[in-house]
Amino acid sequence: MSIDHTTLDPERVEEFQGLAVAEAAAAESAACVYLGDVLGLYEALAGAGPLTSAELARRTDTHERYVREWLANQASGGYVTYHADDDTFELPDEHAAVLADPDSPAYVTGIFPIIAAAWASADRAAEAFRTGEGIGWHEHDPRLFTGVERIFAPLYRHQLVQDWIPALDGVHDRLTAGARVADVGCGHGASTIVLAEAYPNSRFTGFDSHSASIAAASKAAADAGVGDRVGFEVAAAETLPGRDYDLVCFFDCLHDMGDPVAAARRTREALADDGTLLVVEPQAGDGLSENLNQISRLFYAGSVFLCTPSSLSQDGAIGLGAQAGPTRLLDVLGQAGFGERRVATETPFNLILEARP
């Protein structure tokens, strides 16, 4: 490759070089956020007021010299506030809600183990680009599975019962009275457990093709005290066991499947005649020009490393992608035989779709 540097606009070069350096700083600092999470540094800073590096090191049983360098990174990135007069560092409460409180609706720290898992798969992903082969969900670094649970669980706790279920026609009343529910692609069971806690008269079964996730979900349900009305089974969506479900849910997983039409078609067969399908997918517009923003950028990156490779590893290999958009998603449900389908509600991060036979 040869570039005639004499023809370049030096201001545009400098501007983009600055952007690239800023991106590199953010990418490397993401690893520092990961360390802050793993080592409990954010948790120790939360609500503690100003601390010196030595005080934070004592609270977390870590080495002060490392902590001092980590705090400098965090201060330069605006994650913590540096008080120069007494050489202390403080985590604002607003930042603690994002970084240190798993019960906060703003909590996003779970994304960083997912990023670590993506980097761990980077060489495999490069090879997949060359060959077109897929990468199965189960083949990724285990940090992916715990990270997915941590990033989605706050959404389920704060939005699923409060906003998403009420947006569906008659589903809240049906769950309150007592219904049979299947949670497809349940992962570690966070969504299943949230529903079970909210609707004690209903019975829930979570299904996932990843056996280790099913084992983790079963333990989580027992720990939450809902094991008597929640079960988990290893099964693919295309072979969903059972029938006459009042509600079947797909939380952020339909686009990961090799053949989403086949998965939705099997769901339609398994639903009761008046049952409902709930599909939650990443927020997106219908075309790339509508998705040139930071949220879609994050979702496209996840799709490169996780979602598209997962689909391409399965029968069908449709590769729907994490940014399919509402029109294509509703078309998938139409191809599967659902006569009624609509976007029931949406958030900055999610599309919530409802379909009926």
Quick: pLDDT tens for 206-248.
999 999 999 999 999 999 999 999 999 999 999 999 999 999 9
35, 70, 101 — which closes off a domain?
101
Together in a domain, 94 and 134: no
Q: How many C-beta atoms surround the C-beta of residue 64 within 10 A?
A: 14
* Strand bridging mode 350-356 / 340-346: antiparallel
- Specify the pLDDT at position 204: 98
What's the mean per-residue pLDDT of the chain? 97
Does residue 178 have a pLDDT over 80? yes
pLDDT for 95 equals 98
Q: For residue 313, is pLDDT > 90?
A: yes
Partners of residue 248 on adjacent β-strands = 182, 277
pLDDT bracket for residue 303 (50, 70, 90): very high
Whether the predicted pLDDT of 2 surpasses 80: no
What does residue 170 show for φ and ψ, rounded to 5 degrees? 75, 0
Structure tokens at 259: 């053949």
- Do 339 and 331 touch, CB atoms closer than 8 A? no
- Quote the tokens at residue 282: 């990443």
Do residues 94 and 160 share a domain? no
Same domain, 141 and 276: yes
- Please tell me the least confidently modeled range out of 3-17, 33-47, 227-241: 3-17
- Let me know the angle formed at the C-alpha of 299 by 295 and 302, rounded to the nearest 5 degrees: 145
**In the prediction, which pLDDT does 237 show?**
95
H-run or E-run covering 83: strand 81-83
In this prediction, residues 5-25 reach a mean pLDDT of: 93
Question: Which pair of structure tokens corresponds to residue 350?
Answer: 């999610």
pLDDT per residue over 82-93, tens digit each? Answer: 999 999 999 999
Residue 275 inside a domain? The answer is: yes
Residue 292 sits at the vertex; the CA angle it makes with 289 and 297, to the nearest 5 degrees, is: 135
142 with 122: CB under 8 angstroms? no
Residue 108, C-beta contacts closer than 8 angstroms, at least 6 positions apart: 98, 99, 151
- The pTM assigned to this predicted structure is 0.93
Residue 341 has φ and ψ, to the nearest 5°, of: -155, 140
- Residue 106: inside a domain: no
- Number of folded domains that form the chain: 2
- In percent, how much of the chain has pLDDT > 70? 100
Q: Do 303 and 155 have their domain in common?
A: yes
Q: What is the pLDDT of residue 66?
A: 98
264 and 186 in a single domain? The answer is yes
- The CATH number covering residue 63 comes to 1.10.10.10
Mean pLDDT of 26-47: 97
Q: pLDDT exceeding 90 applies to what percent of the chain?
A: 98
Domain hosting residue 321, numbered range? 112-356
Q: Residue 94, SS3?
A: helix
| Residue 118 burial (CB count, 10 A) | 20
Q: Is residue 322 part of a domain?
A: yes
Whether 107 maps to a domain, the answer reads no
Tell me whether strands 203-208 and 180-184 are parallel, antiparallel or unpaired.
Answer: parallel
Residue 316, exposed/middle/buried by CB under 10 A (0-12, 13-18, 19+)?
middle
Reference 196, options 218, 213, 211; nearest CA is: 218
Token pair, residue 27, equals: 């990418």
Q: Are 220 and 188 a contacting pair, CB within 8 Å?
A: yes
Q: What is the pLDDT of residue 256?
A: 96
**For residues 287 and 325, what is the distance between their CA atoms, to the nearest angstrom?**
7
- Sole residue written with tokens 């769950």: 175
What confidence tens digit (pLDDT) does each residue in 243-274 have? 999 999 999 999 999 999 999 999 999 999 99
The CA distance from 52 to 31, in Å, is 22
144 and 275: one domain? Answer: yes
Q: Are residues 89 and 127 in the same domain?
A: no
C-alpha span between 156 and 101 (Å, rounded):
15
Instruction: Dump pLDDT digits (tens) for 70-111.
Output: 999 999 999 999 999 999 999 999 999 999 999 999 999 999
Paired residues of 351 in beta bridges: 281, 346
Do 30 and 139 lie in one domain? The reply is no
